[in-house]
Structure 1
Amino acid sequence: MLHLTAPTLHDFPPATRADWLKLVEAVLKGAPYEKRMQTVTYDRITLDALPERRGDAAPIAGRPAGAPWQVITRVDHDDPALANQQILEDLNGGASGISLVFASAPSARGFGLPLSHEGLAATLKDVLPELVTIRIEAGRYQGRDVALALARLYEGVAADKLDIRFGLDPIGDFAALGAAPIEWDGLSARLGQTVNTLISRGFSQPMVRADGRLHHEGGASDAQELAAVLATALAYLRALEAAGLSLEQAAACIEVTLTADTDQFATQAKPRAFRQLWAALLKACGVEGVPVAIHMETAWRSLTRFDPYVNLLRGTIAAFAAGVGGANSLSVLPFTQALGLPDASARRLARNTQIILIEEANIHRVADPGAGAGAIEERTEQLAATGWELFRAIEREGGMVESLTSGAWQRRLKATREQRARDIATRRLPLTGTSEFPLLGEAVPAVLAPAPRLPHEAPTEGALLSDPVLPYRDAEPFEALRAAALATHPAPTVFLAPLGTPADYTARLGFARAAFEAGGIATVTTETPTDLAAAFRASGARIACLCGSDELYESQGLNIAAALKEVGATALYLAGRPGAQEAAWQAAGVEGYFYTGCDLLAALNAVQSRLGVRRGAEP
């Protein structure tokens, strides 16, 4: 009789990195390892596809194993009664906390709760404050007023039983507005007074917030976001110490908010890196053992208005990464947030994204599951090291307020934002549903109210002035093209002229179709490319794009271009690089080229101008 035994781990020899590198070298066949197996981030961190194993790395202390993060839902309806309905529906649907976004908050974006005692009472009607977490987003230096109004509302409830995160963040208000009514010394003193008042009333949860979202929305890289949050937290530590708190008490009063974006490993590493930075900061101050509460929110910057259902995927990736990264609480923005005020369906999907990850996927069961994983450990260590050096640079400039006032911080963000914009324009950083795989004629999901157009005005008055850190979304340049095309009648169209057989033209025709449609330009073609001039004339289009192989371009392309011009094509384009025939193509009337790595935004702007597309339409 044959006896089979299952192999054990000891039956397999351990594979070293050298062993893996030998296999990689065989596949690369002489190609440079650095170009194929390494990636450089916006923080100039080099990531290796074959990082060293870190199997003995200890978990980073954060959320304990088995403890789910708090599911926080956003409440920003401007009608307190309707906002109250949303809160009760969210809490009954499984949320464990709410984030009250007031109209003055940068994150309100034209909506938000009114600031009044009556409005606050109506918003929180029938909410049992002892059972839920309440987070405040006030903005415009209204944090103190909201905090005192909320304390007054719950005068009859033992404050130490309440989990209210007041979110006092005057530096964040200054960064968003670009102006402050008084100097930083006065603002920091008022912050200390407010915290002492809340402590005297029995509140014990973190009251001050260092918020990274605004910096992320302004273009910050991951390390820049961490550095800004750490520098802001240090400024608050100093302010609270000056107000009479010990450093241990001051540290316990501070929480942070970080952004969860669509890069899974970067988002997973971000809270891990910040916990390391926080520990290093406190150690430098002579304090140890004070943990930091980390709230995360999915990235506004990554949301799109066209094909918004892809936002559901973006939110799921970001939520997963934040959960396994150790976030203490998390908000998932509804997938229609960029379109306007989300309805009940969008809010339910945002809420259930987290609930499914917790209740069905059980991703909270293991404490820091990335511990020991080479890719996660490498990303964490390099992110923390880069963030620390940026933090030190901010401190050399005098701190976060001075860096904002001098414009040094805004210049850093601008440089990163411009690099990212180039990658988006060339589709080195593709946006699914926007710059890649666009979907023309899609149905637009409903919202309760459309997003208003918000003016951006530079501040002219204030004791402190700076350039505000303005939010943007990655998809905005392509969305502007799509919106302009939608507002143009008749709809802009291009004729895709296939050369040869399907084997010759299919790849480039598909590429060209996606490229033009990313700018809202519809495409038409023919399945019988024997007489392209006649097919173009019948299509009704005014411009054409040749799609075929390089060999056919060389042998037939110029003749076909001439034939298309003869029957009325006002402009011609080529799917592919011009190659050695560029001068001949130009002489034949070819005005632009669409290929992998081209500046697609510039190319589409030129095509739209040729077609008379109007500018300035609201996406």
Structure 2
Amino acid sequence: MAATETATPFADVFAPASEEQWRQKVEAALKGAPFSRLISKTYDGFDVQPLYARASGKPRAFRGAGDWAVTARVDHPEGAEANKLALTDLENGANGLHVVFAGSAGAYGFGLKDAAALALALEGVYLDAGLRIVFDLPGDTAAIVEAIENRVAGHDLKTLDLSLGLDPLGAAALSGEALDWPKAGLALAARVKALHEKGFGGVVAADGRIVHAAGGSPAQELAFALAAGVDYLRALEAGGLSLEEAREKIDFRLAADADEFVTLAKFRALRRLWASIETACGLTPRPIRVHGETAWRMMTRRDPWVNHLRSTVAVFSAGLGGADSITVLPFTQAIGLPDALARRIARNTQLVLLEESNLGKVADPAAGSGGFEALTESLVERAYSLFQDIEKAGGLARALASGLIGGEIAKIANERAKATARRKEPLTGASEFPDINEKPVAVLIPAPAAPAANPKALAPQRVAHPFEALRDKAEAAGARPKIFLANLGPIAAFTARATFAKNVFEAGGIEALSNDGFADTAALAAGFKASGAKLAVLCSSDALYAESGVAAAKALKDAGATVWFAGRPGDLEAALREAGVADFVFVGSDVLAQLTAALDAA
């Protein structure tokens, strides 16, 4: 650009648009539909608007400076094998380890088998090289903590970045067993004080991942972590630590899922919530240590490659939301113990976002965004209200024992299950766009069967499991069940609904047999007979349904088919059912129940 030239004043070229003008455009696009169609509601009960004004003057709570730590899982049961995998991760870009023990909140079927495995697992790992080490401990921690103390002996503990993760309240929630908190709190305080005197930093973990994995909402996850943190703060102060010392011993852990906006806001909200607790205690708020882990709940066994996409969104959101360290569950975690390839991709997911996209360079990039600030504020308000309910119940241990927390989480989990069954919350590769011819992926050890859980336990669950169970049932029969796509009329008439029907039935492991369509009902019935299928789904346009849908359904029924109908039947429902239609599949129908019935009939 020449010295005399100036930049184009874009702000003057494009006149600013007002919200009123935007609404006029929206109303025209909606063609008479209510504006409320653009407003979504979260499981925590607050609205998400389609447009927000710029926010200003909102309080901010920063994480520490610099990139978040890339922590790789150390979860092979055998210490020596876990060590090989961990060293490979550290040699190829990871700068932290997430050491998982069997039976812990983050185990998901695996983890170091015992305390003796720890020394082998961390052989050759230079703890004083700036590594972030996060431990996931089971309920019985005495032997493991002793093993950790032995491993770090001789180090200046003030230079190590360790998060031991003592969490008796979380262990009680995970097991469903009642906890005598006054007694357990005193024991925890004595242990933490002893570790404090030896120089340990982060010792206790307030872990919200347990609530997320059990199906809870973001505000429930935050309230649980906040309540645990406050109970630990009280216990440590009663055990002889000052409030200043006590807060330095508490770390936080949250799950990150593929709901980008809410996840980002959730991590921001935690810092705001804890800052308010510190202020109420007479402390000047300081940055807390928050560890994020991509959510177990969103992982799928079917078409696991899509887990890469979900995990990338989760890391992006947790990182921009202010996580200090993040662990990515490898994409095969739900299938078995991940191999080197899966671990490499998990590691590189973070490295690409950090080193190529520079996502860790801005302290709080969502600050001032109307949408993110509104979501953060809503989560803060809802989570604090739930936290107050826990306090009124006498603290977290009593709220768990009374069923208050479990009951509320179960309500949300049931709502989510209904939304999943109707594909209002689709899971690509499981409930939507399934690949029934997918090739198996390699794992080191197949996943064990989930143990029977205490009914009071906040047991981890995956949203995709019901659909995966149907796929397993379909494939256990040997020959895969089939459904004939009864395409009536020209291609333009049936393609949309045939594609929809194929997507629906293959989500249950029922192979859809396609064709180029049939001109009349006789040819349609003959085509079904030739297919060898037991099921048929009628696919066509509304116009052809009105003209010959009933006759086509009767012809298929007479030919021996269990007949399904793609689309809403409208005024034809009674006639179609009389003609033999078993059920109707459409956007919003209970696909899970329909697939269960279809498999029974196949």
| SS of residue in 2 equivalent to 1:309 | helix
Does the Cα contact within 8 Å between 1:59 and 1:367 map onto a contact in 2?
Answer: no
CA distance in 2, matches of 1:171, 1:601: 35
CA distance in 2, matches of 1:337, 1:307: 12
Match of 1:563 among 543, 555, 564: 555
Cα offset, 1:124, TM superposition: 1.1
What does the per-residue CA deviation read over 1:139-162, in whole Å, with 9 as the maximum and x for residues that have no partner?
A: 1232x4322221122222222222
CA distance in 2, matches of 1:58, 1:221: 24
Cα offset, 1:107, TM superposition: 2.3
**Does structure 1 residue 598 correspond to structure 2 residue 589?**
yes
Does the Cα contact within 8 Å between 2:255 and 2:294 map onto a contact in 1?
Answer: yes
Does the Cα contact within 8 Å between 1:481 and 1:605 map onto a contact in 2?
Answer: yes
- The residue aligned with 1:92 is 91
- The residue aligned with 2:160 is 162
| SS of residue in 2 equivalent to 1:519 | coil
Cα offset, 1:13, TM superposition: 4.8
Cα offset, 1:10, TM superposition: 5.2
| Counterparts in 2 of 1:106 and 1:259: CA distance versus 1, 3 Å | closer
CA distance in 1, matches of 2:147, 2:311: 33
What does the per-residue CA deviation read over 1:229-288, in whole Å, with 9 as the maximum and x for residues that have no partner?
A: 000100100110110111111111101001111011111111111111001111122222
Q: RMSD value over aligned CA atoms? A: 1.7
Cα offset, 1:57, TM superposition: 4.7
| Counterparts in 2 of 1:9 and 1:241: CA distance versus 1, 3 Å | farther
CA distance in 1, matches of 2:384, 2:506: 43
| SS of residue in 1 equivalent to 2:202 | coil
Q: Matched residues, percent identical?
A: 45
**Does structure 1 residue 192 correspond to structure 2 residue 189?**
yes
**Does structure 1 residue 42 correspond to structure 2 residue 43?**
yes
- The residue aligned with 1:31 is 33
Cα offset, 1:9, TM superposition: 5.6
1:146-545 matched pairs, under 5 angstroms? 146-180=144-178, 183-203=180-200, 205-458=201-454, 467-530=456-519, 531-545=523-537
CA distance in 2, matches of 1:34, 1:568: 45
More divergent stretch after superposition (429-438 vs 131-140): 131-140
CA distance in 1, matches of 2:328, 2:153: 31
**Does structure 1 residue 610 correspond to structure 2 residue 601?**
yes
**Does structure 1 residue 7 correspond to structure 2 residue 4?**
no
- The residue aligned with 1:463 is none
| SS of residue in 2 equivalent to 1:179 | coil
What does the per-residue CA deviation read over 1:37-89, in whole Å, with 9 as the maximum and x for residues that have no partner?
A: x111000111111112115556532233xx11000111110111111101110
TM-score under structure 2 length normalisation: 0.96
Q: How many equivalent residue pairs?
A: 595
CA distance in 2, matches of 1:608, 1:346: 33
| SS of residue in 1 equivalent to 2:304 | coil
| Counterparts in 2 of 1:17 and 1:59: CA distance versus 1, 3 Å | farther
Cα offset, 1:601, TM superposition: 0.5
Does the Cα contact within 8 Å between 2:212 and 2:297 map onto a contact in 1?
Answer: yes
What does the per-residue CA deviation read over 1:383-435, in whole Å, with 9 as the maximum and x for residues that have no partner?
A: 11111111111111111111100001001001000111111111111111111
Does the Cα contact within 8 Å between 1:58 and 1:372 map onto a contact in 2?
Answer: no
| Counterparts in 2 of 1:528 and 1:35: CA distance versus 1, 3 Å | closer
Which one-letter code corresponds to 1:587 in the other structure?
E
- The residue aligned with 1:617 is none
Cα offset, 1:7, TM superposition: 2.8
Cα offset, 1:18, TM superposition: 3.4
| Counterparts in 2 of 1:4 and 1:56: CA distance versus 1, 3 Å | farther
CA distance in 2, matches of 1:316, 1:50: 25
Which one-letter code corresponds to 2:96 in the other structure?
G
Does the Cα contact within 8 Å between 1:574 and 1:590 map onto a contact in 2?
Answer: yes
**Does structure 1 residue 112 correspond to structure 2 residue 111?**
yes
Which one-letter code corresponds to 1:388 in the other structure?
Y
**Does structure 1 residue 583 correspond to structure 2 residue 574?**
yes
**Does structure 1 residue 76 correspond to structure 2 residue 68?**
no
CA distance in 1, matches of 2:171, 2:17: 52
Cα offset, 1:197, TM superposition: 1.0
CA distance in 1, matches of 2:450, 2:415: 25
5+ residue gaps in structure 2? none
CA distance in 2, matches of 1:195, 1:424: 43
- The residue aligned with 1:137 is 136
5+ residue gaps in structure 1? 459-465, 612-619
Does the Cα contact within 8 Å between 1:526 and 1:535 map onto a contact in 2?
Answer: no
Does the Cα contact within 8 Å between 1:213 and 1:258 map onto a contact in 2?
Answer: yes
CA distance in 2, matches of 1:28, 1:151: 64
| Counterparts in 2 of 1:601 and 1:140: CA distance versus 1, 3 Å | same
| Counterparts in 2 of 1:139 and 1:90: CA distance versus 1, 3 Å | same
Which one-letter code corresponds to 2:564 in the other structure?
Y
CA distance in 1, matches of 2:177, 2:48: 39
Which one-letter code corresponds to 1:92 in the other structure?
E
CA distance in 1, matches of 2:509, 2:5: 62
CA distance in 1, matches of 2:30, 2:537: 35
